[in-house]
Amino acid sequence: MRVLFLYPRTLDADRSVGGVAEFLCSLVPVLKQLGVDPIIYAGDKTVNKLTVPAQVLTDAKVYNGPFIKPSLFISKSKLAPVLKLCHMADIEVIHAQGTYTAGFMAWQIHKRTGIPYVVTSHSDILTTNSKRINRSNVRRRCRHVLKHAAAVTHLTLMMEEISHQLWDTRQKSTVIGNGIDCLSWKPYAQLPERNYILGIGRLERGKGFDVLLDMYARLVQRDITSSLIIAGKGSEEQNLFAQTRRLGLRLVTDFKDFSHIPEKSVMFTGYVRDEVKKRLIAQSQCVLFATQPDLWEEAFGIVQLEAMVAGKPIIASDTNATRFLQQTGLQVDIVKPNDVQAWADQTEVLLRDPLLRMKLGEVNLKAAAQFDWQPIAKQYYDVFVQAEHFRHVHGGSHRIQKNKS
């Protein structure tokens, strides 16, 4: 089965970090084991034709090309490269990563080719992350995308509910969570703990790294010797450096030497991946997720799964994604997102009790098994088969169901 994955951003080693890119690059290799021939079409504003990136993050075939903007008038020149790719690769199913941009493009391809498409809802339909979703024309386009999709998948029940508010797709919806390669993490879960706590993710407004810095300043005042490592990069990096200096904390930027970690320091590593990332998570004393849901809502972060499969205790903001994981068995200390005192108190409890850290980590390690990529990929494969069958039954046309919302 040949499946074209639509991803509206570039997908290369230099510019792709975390989020949907990581989800996509983790999913497609496992799908190949199930007989799916995955091809990725990634958006690139700098090109006007199909190009092959020099360095990619996955072993799937990757093409870069222009991505159309959702609008009343469609640019035929920007749509032509992906139509060419669909014909050249004999694509059978399209999988859009996101409802608005990728989903709109999938719908336009479908109208011209009859190829069925699947939409996975991501954070582009969350009002805290994308203000445009409040606009009537944007919501109308999303409704068209969802109505004509052969199938719709959602990372969590929350995402399913939000998607249904745009257009009710219960008859063709499936909740499929994020995944993790449990086997590849197994050696790291046994690594010895080191004297640091970890915050990891994109350094963007709403991710709560400023809260972690304020919290860490209080921990230092309480004679906690553990360092705070912040792994990631983003637009808030310089602001976080400045905040660290204002708090009078020892700042280490672009930290690379993991053989020696100084005490009572704030260390920024930049973006990490592969073995460095796994070791960094696995050897932390605990992993902190301080997302501020009034500014940014997580659909379902892979990093939380990575902390689980590494056998780590977790402290996290009270968000829908965290509550969802808690319901599946995650042991997590949930705190009010912007309550610095609560963050400091909860973190201090864990840092002063190594036995508690070990017990919580063991529970999380066991709970992570349910998110292994193998069963997750099989669920996506079943959805693709459903979409392909729908095409054969309906001759390329799709059932138009009435909106029940």
- CA-to-CA distance for 292 and 211, rounded, in angstroms? 9
In the predicted model, what is the mean pLDDT of residues 18-45?
Answer: 89
Q: Considering the domain boundaries, does residue 169 fall inside one?
A: yes
The pTM of this model reads: 0.86
235 and 108 part of one domain = no
Is residue 401 in a domain? no
Q: Please check whether residue 216 is in contact with residue 226, taking contact to mean a CB–CB distance below 8 angstroms.
A: no
Same domain as 269, residue 157 = no
DSSP, res 403 = P
Boundaries of domain holding 191? 182-369
Q: Indicate whether 297 belongs to any domain.
A: yes
89 and 222 together in one domain: no
pLDDT of amino acid 11:
79
Residue by residue, DSSP assigns 50-75 as -B--SS-SSSSEEEEE--PPPSSS--
Residue type, 84: K
* 403 within a domain of the structure (yes/no): no
pLDDT in tens, 219-249: 999 999 999 999 999 999 999 999 999 999 9
Residues 261 and 332 in one domain: yes
24 and 109 assigned to the same domain: yes
Among the ranges given (1-10, 13-22, 157-166, 394-403), the one the predictor scored with the smallest mean pLDDT: 394-403
- Give yes or no: residues 265 and 340 share one domain: yes
In percent, the amount of the chain with pLDDT more than 70 equals: 94
Residue-level pLDDT at 401? 36
Residue 277 has pLDDT above 60, yes or no: yes
The string of pLDDT tens digits covering residues 359-405 is 999 999 999 999 999 999 999 999 999 998 877 666 554 333 333 33
**Residue 16 CB neighbour total at 10 angstroms:** 23
Average pLDDT across the chain, whole number = 91
CA–CA dist 20, 202 (Å, integer): 12
Task: Give yes or no: residues 193 and 92 share one domain.
Answer: no
Q: Has residue 399 been placed in a domain?
A: no
Sheet holding 314-317, edge to edge: 250-252, 265-270, 227-231, 196-200, 287-289, 314-317, 332-335
Mean pLDDT check: name the lowest of 93-107, 113-127, 277-291. 113-127
User: 212 in a domain, yes or no?
Assistant: yes
The closest alpha carbon to 95, from 70, 117, 62, belongs to: 117
Domain membership flag for residue 41: yes
User: Are 108 and 246 contained in the same domain?
Assistant: no
Beta-strand runs (E) in 54-160:
61-65, 93-97, 117-121, 151-154
Residue 131 pLDDT grade (very low, low, confident, very high; cuts 50, 70, 90): confident
- Assess whether 122 and 214 both reside in one domain: no
- Would 404 be classed as within a structural domain? no
- Count the domains in the chain: 2
Say whether both 157 and 265 belong to one domain.
no
Distance CA 284, CA 195 (A): 7
CATH number at residue 307: 3.40.50.2000
Residues 268, 225 share a domain? yes
**Whether residue 108 is found in the same domain as residue 30:** yes
